[in-house]
Structure 1
Amino acid sequence: MPLPETTKDILAGTAGGIAQVLVGQPFDIVKVRVQTAPPGYFKGIGDCIGHIIKDEGAMAFYKGTTMPLIGVGACVSIQFGVVQYFKRLFGEKNAQRGRQGLTNVQLYTAGVAGGIANSVIAGPIEHVRIRMQTQKGNELRGPFDAVRQIAARSGVTGVFRGMGPTVLREGHGMGIYFLTYEYLVQKKLEADKITREQLPSTTSMLAGAAAGTVLWLTVYPIDVVKSYLQTDAIDPAKRRFRSSSDVVRHIYQSSGFRGFVRGIEPTLIRAPFVNGATFVAFEAMMRYLSTM
């Protein structure tokens, strides 16, 4: 009995998510440290990396990896599952009208839907990961202890802190992400007159790298705001920021527009590798599962 299409989407998305975490985690911890450090604390990316190695050791680059490995597989599987569902839905409607393929608006809409669905899980997971990445000592003994402490000190809703910018980033960002990837893939399929199953891994890698870069150029300032909210004090009485607008005002007043792109260098270096790996793993798993 063949596997249902939705099951294939979820399994392939999980493979992509695992590849994403393993490749991207060292880049991500540098990004978060640079984003949220006081102005002038680090002289640059190299200085941040040097501080981490000197003060915490090389394994610190994988701080907070447990939660992403558990959760990002789920996040990306939901993301890809929803996107694939809407792509099929739009494709069927287009076929009924005598049209082939998907429009750019449909691809963007499918990505937005996948991003919003994903954000419900991504928000808490990223909150815990950022807490683990930015702690200097061992106050948080692991991801589950982090969840326990956040819930105990700020209520269950505290785990979802930063959800506003998370939904905005994921929705618009994934719309741009999947639109860029699918546009480039379709151009390759049309130019070489090949099927999706014949798509070279190099094309998946390059299209994924391009999609990831465009994604972060589009949503990075939103991610900075989210990081500030999620590294603020766990105890509500000690927080500096009540809302995203407070963060925006603080960043602009303290650093100007440049503050909204602090830490973008490791992100842009990271994006091609992480997203290339994500789509290579996804497409490879989809090809494998198509035989089942």
Structure 2
Amino acid sequence: MSIAPTQPAELKKKPVSFSNILLGAGLNLCEVTTLGQPLEVTKTTMAANRNLNFLQSVKHIWSRGGVFGFYQGLIPWAWIEASTKGAVLLFVSAEAEYQFKSLGLGNFGAGIMGGVSGGVAQAYLTMGFCTCMKTVEITKAKSVAGGAPQSSWAAFKDIYRKEGIRGINKGVNAVAIRQMTNWGSRFGLSRLVEEGIRNVTGKTNPDEKLSPLEKIFASAVGGGLSAWNQPIEVIRVEMQSKKEDPNRPKNLTVGSAFRYIYQSSGLKGLYRGVTPRIGLGVWQTVFMVGFGDIAKEFVGKLTGETPVAKH
């Protein structure tokens, strides 16, 4: 007696709706405008000025404009990045996750690969030139030859005129590696912590939902631990930095930047800025998870659609 093989469930792509795009853009804009950009500025300052500790970096940033010094690069670059990277991630990760599942990967593996693909797309489509220009704003001299400070757009035009597309996308390969490892590790580590919480609390049934605090804790731990790849972030900053450094080799690649940082600052230099980076990872995930459900409900009422994909 033969048993007919069971047909696999039909694969379906996660729907990506206007509600998802609006939700992701809105949450990212709020996150970066609150605590996100000050942590980003502190992290970048420490990575670019590896002789400064955390307090010295804070004083240096304050000297560049007081409170507003902590928001260098926010407008327009951080806002452009925040309002576009969510859409790129959602579209690409949904398509990639579907394709990897069709190749036979399970939910966990396909989810990670979807996140990795979305992270790479983010880097090359939107984040490359945005992170480059943010770093330029944070590391450039405040005035040129004793004149008035150069505006954001003037700096952009100057770099584009001298170096073209390559100039405003300097360090984009490092950004891609960072985003790829960020999303892969954040997803994996958060799921690992969630499994641990389920084992401790006895919520072993997958249908049982974690409480909001448990979800926030798991996401915060995942976001904080994803800072393990800080060396690639320091390399990215060095490649994009406008800080005057006569010893820095010209036309840096990821490899030559790594060698230069290691030779000049040692292993410790490759982890400069990791403390504010951990803080940034925790803040991003707590903000997105903590306010995510409230935002979903609000956007659903506003648009008549229910956001379903992760933001």
**1:264 to 2:274 alignment:** yes
Residue type at the aligned position of 1:17? N
Residue of 104, 107, 114 corresponding to 2:111? 107
Q: What is the TM-score normalised by the length of structure 2? A: 0.76
Would you identify which runs of 4 or more consecutive aligned residues in structure 1 move more than 6 Å?
A: 186-190
**1:49 to 2:58 alignment:** yes
Instruction: State the Cα deviation string for residues 223-259 of structure 1 (Å, max 9, x = none).
Output: 111100101479xxx9634322221111111121111
Identity, % of aligned positions: 19
Q: Distance in 1 between matches of 2:207 and 2:188?
A: 19
Residue of 132, 136, 145 corresponding to 2:141? 136
Count of equivalent residues: 274
Q: Distance in 2 between matches of 1:125 and 1:174?
A: 18
Instruction: State the Cα deviation string for residues 59-112 of structure 1 (Å, max 9, x = none).
Output: 110111011112222112322343344456667x59xx9x9x723x22211111
Q: Distance in 2 between matches of 1:51 and 1:233?
A: 13
Aligned to 1:34: 46
Q: Looking at CA atoms only, which structure, 1 or 2, has the larger radius of gyration?
A: 2
**TM superposition shift of 1:124:** 0.6
Deviates more, 1:254-263 or 1:54-63: 54-63
**1:17 to 2:17 alignment:** no
**TM superposition shift of 1:207:** 2.6
Contact 1:16/1:76 (8 A) holds in 2? no
**1:70 to 2:80 alignment:** yes
**1:226 to 2:226 alignment:** no
Aligned to 1:175: 184
Contact 1:80/1:114 (8 A) holds in 2? yes
**TM superposition shift of 1:150:** 1.1
Q: Do the aligned partners of residues 204 and 122 (structure 1) sit closer, same or farther apart at CA in structure 2, a change above 3 Å counting?
A: farther
Aligned to 1:127: 132
**TM superposition shift of 1:155:** 1.5
Q: Distance in 1 between matches of 2:87 and 2:195?
A: 22
Show the 5 A alignment for 1:266-281. Answer: 266-281=276-291
The CA RMSD over aligned residues, in Å, is: 3.1
> Gaps spanning 5+ residues in structure 2: where?
1-13, 144-148, 306-311
Residue type at the aligned position of 2:172? M
Q: Distance in 2 between matches of 1:115 and 1:186?
A: 24
Q: Distance in 1 between matches of 2:297 and 2:100?
A: 22
Contact 1:71/1:122 (8 A) holds in 2? yes
Q: Distance in 1 between matches of 2:210 and 2:296?
A: 11
Show the 5 A alignment for 1:154-165. Answer: 154-165=163-174
SS for the counterpart of 1:161 is coil
Residue of 202, 211, 215 corresponding to 2:213? 202
Higher helix share: 1
Deviates more, 1:46-55 or 1:118-127: 46-55
Residue type at the aligned position of 1:115? G
Q: What is the TM-score normalised by the length of structure 1? A: 0.81
Contact 2:16/2:90 (8 A) holds in 1? no
